[in-house]
Amino acid sequence: MIGRARSVNLLLLGQLRRRRGQWLDANALARAHRLSLNLLDRELRRLTGRGYEIERDPSAGVRLVGVPGGLAAEEISCDLDTNLIGRHVIVEDELTSTNDEAWRIIRAVDSEGADVRENDGLVIVALRQSAGRGRRGQAWASPEGGLWMSVVLRALRPARQSMLTMAAAVAVAEAVRETTRLEARIRWPNDVIIEGRKAAGVLVETQSASPGLYVLGIGVNVNVPAERLPAEVRTAATSLRAELGREVSAVEFARCLLGRLDGWYHYVRAGDVDALNAAWRPLASTLGQRIKLSADGRKFEGVVVEVDLVEGVSLRLDGGAVRTFRSEEVSLVELVVQ
């Protein structure tokens, strides 16, 4: 079993949530979920222990009157309409890094000799990370208010890292647009930006000994207040809350993101580069813009004439020549304001 605490009965919770506020007959509820009344009681107590407010009345029955606030695992996963991603969700108050925890769980499951499908699609969320990791060994500030999560993916072909990174960036940008109407864009290769400032990043990790096994880390500054963004990146970073001037439902955002991710994962598995390029290009912030980037220890400046998942980004340099850079060789990308 994944996770430490025994998970709640999500089918029962789903029914209670769909009929929230309405009295349901306890006998009928128990029958529908193949539980004795005693077991139903135990499941309801378990839900209460997880922050759900449930009323019992001998004649009226059972009703759900309140759900836990904030990011609760059951609130993210209950009735989530995905094929794979988010079938299991774990939420911890604090982790060093959700990617670390993903690797720890993978090792534990593998050493038990359990079926690897057990944790394929597992989502791990932390309310805070004490040692969040960004790309290229950088630290990733992860105070409370963000969505810091990792997804374990076990059934991909090797070398799908850049497709997975792009699929995740597209999913984040779409989820931001859908839940907030903010104009999120993708700054190649993997930043999600709003009005030129970074709101989210993606870090895909692999291990050479386990080709086809990926940990997909996604960090989104959902409700991080502007003053809690690290000072050194404050002018370059933003959060959904800072852009909107109000809080966003982190649960609603997480559910939307997992749904989008699950959809795009299908294309990553199928190796459908064209579908991903078609989704990404209209979201690319850099197409047609003048940018600066560093590659091979040198700086290059030019206008972006093409972006492609496999090939990378093509710049028309000032001399007129076009040079293409792959994401792995590029370390710094910035827009040149003219």
Interacting residue ranges for ligand BTN, rule: CB under 6 A: 97-99, 129, 132-135, 138, 140, 142, 148-150, 191, 201-203, 217-219
> How far is it, in rounded angstroms, from Cα 143 to Cα 133?
13
Q: How many CB atoms lie within 10 A of CB 35?
A: 17
Nearer to ligand BTN, 87 or 198 (CB): 198
The residue among 201 and 259 lying less far from ligand BTN, judged by its C-beta, is: 201
Whether a cis peptide bond, with omega within 30° of 0, leads into 189 is yes
195 CB burial (10 A radius; 0-12, 13-18, 19+) = exposed
Neighbours of 335 (CB within 10 A): 15
- What is the distance between the alpha carbons of residues 168 and 274, in angstroms, rounded to a whole number? 16
Which CB atom, from 142 or from 179, has the smaller least distance to ligand BTN? Answer: 142
CB-nearest residue to ligand BTN: 201
C-alpha Rg value of the chain to the nearest Å: 22
Which of residues 16 and 123 has its CB atom nearest to ligand BTN in the complex?
Answer: 123
Instruction: For ligand BTN, give the closer residue by CB, 29 or 186.
Output: 186
Q: How far apart are CA 9 and CA 79, in angstroms?
A: 12
Using the minimum distance from each CB to ligand BTN, give the nearer residue, 43 or 185: 185
Contact 119, 152 (CB under 8 A): yes
| Measured torsion, CA atoms of residues 86, 89, 94, 98, in degrees rounded to the nearest 10 | -40
* Minimum gap (Å) between residue 313 Cβ and ligand BTN: 17
Closest approach of Cβ 182 to ligand BTN, in Å? Answer: 18
Residue 286 C-beta: closest distance to ligand BTN, Å: 16
CB of 205 to ligand BTN, least distance (A): 9
Strands 298-308 and 214-220: unpaired
Query: What's the closest the beta carbon of residue 189 comes to ligand BTN, in angstroms?
Result: 10
* 3-state SS string for 245-258: CCCCCHHHHHHHHH
Question: In the complex with ligand BTN, which residue's Cβ is closer, 138 or 324?
Answer: 138
